[in-house]
Amino acid sequence: MSVYDLSALNKRFAIANQLEFKEGPGGLTVAEVTNAHAAATIALQGGTVMTFQPRGQEPVLWLSKFAKFVPGKSIRGGNPVCWPWFGPHPTDANMPTHGFARTIPWEVHRSEVLAGGKTQISLKLVENDTTKAQWPHSSEVQIIITTGPELRVELITRNTGETSFLIGDAFHTYFQVSDIRQVSIHGLEGCPFLDRLDQSKRNIQEGPVMISAETDRIYLSATSDCLIEDLKLKRRIRIAKKGSRSTVVWNPWIEKAAKMGDFGENGYLGMVCVETANAAEDVVRILPGGEHRLQATFSVEPLP
């Protein structure tokens, strides 16, 4: 059952012909954005952008047809938010992988129409006793989602306490591709990476990233744009970022996808995660009164 009052949300934050709050799959409350540029669906649970599709184009984000929309569980696809750590907790294996931000309700803070007809919605993380036990630091967390010709997501962490703390954060973004075997990822050439399938062994990326097996890599000191070139769809997805020093590339391939249970048969062929992140040795220290902004912009370009 939803924890949100749809009538109250629409009365306060809906925008005629642009933004409406509805009951989504599994009863989760979603914000539906439809404007002259694109359509997007945002789950208030986790602040997850589930879908983004520019007008007249194929979807940019991949959402599994077998995704499980369950309260307290992350969604398989879209743009889940990893916070306040990435991957396993650094000291406690009992803590949830990738933190708790992607599985708990977020509160709508504001909505507005920007110049050019873009739609922006701002959400704030809602703390509870469980999250406070896992993250005993005074902080405020906000995500700003702007839907236009491109999709822009910005995660803001503010330190409201008197001591500094370290965070790892990421947009665990699933991108839709025609066939991962015919896709190349550019922008990581020459970057060192940790191979999480080989005891985090350090390697150097030579040439574009090509995927033909299970892949799980953290690219370090990776601040450049990434480009997903898709020959079959004749497009390039550009991932521009700010406040990020890591890029994670992930595809579960055959065996792991089958074990997960929410990919479906051959679902792994239609997606790749290229994640805008601060992970491993690239975690961020935020001083008292300071803030950190993680921003990613996803846009589509035709192949030359």
| Span 50-97, pLDDT tens digits | 999 999 999 999 999 999 999 999 999 999 999 999 999 989 999 999
Residue type, 230: D
pLDDT in tens, 286-304: 999 999 999 999 999 999 8
Q: How far apart are CA 163 and CA 144, in angstroms?
A: 26
Residues pairing with 110 in the sheet: 122
pLDDT in tens, 206-228: 999 999 999 999 999 999 999 99
pLDDT of 19 strictly over 70: yes
Question: For residue 130, which of 85, 165, 80, 96 has the smallest C-alpha distance?
Answer: 96
Catalytic positions are 172, 275
pLDDT in tens, 226-265: 999 999 999 999 999 999 999 999 999 999 999 999 999 9
Would you give the end-to-end CA distance of the chain in angstroms? 48
Q: How far apart are CA 133 and CA 55, in angstroms?
A: 43
6-302: CATH topology:
Beta-galactosidase; Chain A, domain 5 (2.70.98)
Question: For residue 39, which of 9, 17, 13 has the smallest C-alpha distance?
Answer: 17
Tokens (6 digits) for 262: 């929410």
pLDDT in tens, 155-199: 999 999 999 999 999 999 999 999 999 999 999 999 999 999 999
Mean pLDDT, to the nearest integer, of 20-33?
97
Q: Find the radius of gyration of the CA atoms of the chain.
A: 18
Question: For residue 127, which of 138, 117, 115 has the smallest C-alpha distance?
Answer: 138
Residue 3's pLDDT band, with cuts at 50, 70 and 90, is confident
Confidence (pLDDT) at 2: 65
pLDDT of 1 strictly over 50: no
Query: Where do the domains of the chain lie?
Result: 6-302
pLDDT in tens, 86-137: 999 989 999 999 999 999 999 999 999 999 999 999 999 998 999 999 999 9
Instruction: Yes or no: say if 143 and 154 are a contact pair by the CB < 8 Å rule.
Output: yes
